[in-house]
Amino acid sequence: MDPVLTGQGRRPVDRDPRNLAFRASLERGDFTVTAEIGPPRGADAGAITRKVSQLRGWVAAVNITDNQGATVRMSSWAGSLAAMTAGVEPIMQVTCRDRNRIALQSDLLGAAAMGIPNILVMTGDHPKFGDHASAKPVFDLDSVELLWAARAMRDEGMLLSGRELKPPPSWFLGSVENPAAPPAGRLEKKVAAGAQFVQTQYVFDARPFARWMSQVRDLGLHERCYILAGVGPISSLRALSHLEERVPGVQVPAELSRRLRSVGEDRLADEAMTACAETISELRQIPGVAGVHVMAVGNEHRIPAILQRAGIGELGEPSPRGSTGTGHAG
């Protein structure tokens, strides 16, 4: 069977040419950068457009989170529309936590109808960790099952019920992965289910991530799915302690912890930006890494400076002399 239709190949189904800079960047082999935006706790789309505007010209696309941390925020589809209005291509996150398969498929169809080109599927944090701890979790599907469903909707024009879709949607499908876990297993399942790109949990040490990527290459998964390594600046000692103690799968190396704790509070943010840029530079040298996903929620304005320190210019600029990789998306 044609790998384009089954989702097993790297080339995605192309039914809608609008707003596809992110996918095109990956297909060209550019070192592609995405970022993450958390919608506000309020009914102000301007909070999204202001953050996104700071990233326009620097990133190929922005993730719009879906009630991250199981806390109530503006919906990801509304945030995605706001990002498009601000001139930046969105990646709409969809979690399985809050909706059954009827609502999930309905939201996906609505996103496609409104021209949202990229969907990133996640299972989602349990409500007990959020601001409505007594909320009933749904989890009718998990992320792998929703990937299968979304791919069937796109490639076969078919709902989970077996009913036909006219016209079928068009998406570039993604998922998330924890590089602390072996890629054989969950990552293989996600790629088989239809994930065409994957964004990882935070990477603060390129050395163990390079070993993980070696396993990914041995399995040939980098040929079937674009891997974007998650990075971000640790801009406060409180955030550092939270990452070290409370975020599963995140490994902050001891030397980075000592480095950040040794500078004063007035210098910590700048030092964290430099450390993040150094990690990006190291990740660019690892075979199979298609780009990075920069998570600096609340500090989006610092992302351009981080990219500059890593030797990555604005979209369309050639890579600076001496840098590795094939250049930034553009």
Rounded CA-CA distance 324/330 in Å is 16
Task: State yes or no: pLDDT of 127 exceeds 70.
Answer: no
Between residues 299 and 132, which one has the greater pLDDT?
Answer: 299
Between residues 205 and 5, which one has the greater pLDDT?
Answer: 205
Task: State yes or no: pLDDT of 19 exceeds 90.
Answer: no
| pLDDT for the residue numbered 10 | 37
Contacts of the segment 274-278: beta carbons below 8 A, 24+ positions apart? 274/309, 275/204, 275/233, 275/234, 276/231, 276/232, 276/233, 276/306, 276/310, 277/306, 277/307, 277/308, 277/309, 277/310, 278/310
| pLDDT for the residue numbered 207 | 95
Between residues 134 and 221, which one has the greater pLDDT?
Answer: 221
Domains of the chain and any CATH numbers: 12-309 (3.20.20.220)
Residues in the chain: 330
Query: Once rounded to an integer, what is the mean pLDDT over residues 271-297?
Result: 96
| pLDDT for the residue numbered 134 | 79
Answer yes or no: are the C-beta atoms of 34 and 199 closer than 8 Å: yes
Q: Could you tell me the pLDDT band of residue 136, with boundaries at 50, 70 and 90?
A: confident
| pLDDT for the residue numbered 270 | 95
| pLDDT for the residue numbered 324 | 41
Task: State yes or no: pLDDT of 196 exceeds 50.
Answer: yes
Q: Could you tell me the pLDDT band of residue 273, with boundaries at 50, 70 and 90?
A: very high
Rounded CA-CA distance 304/33 in Å is 11
| pLDDT for the residue numbered 131 | 59
Query: Once rounded to an integer, what is the mean pLDDT over residues 267-285?
Result: 96
Task: State yes or no: pLDDT of 57 exceeds 90.
Answer: yes
Name the range with the highest mean pLDDT among 66-70, 199-203, 244-248: 199-203
Run of H or E including 146 = helix 143-155
Give the model confidence (pLDDT) of 248-265 as tens digits: 778 899 999 999 999 988
Paired tokens of 321: 């002399």
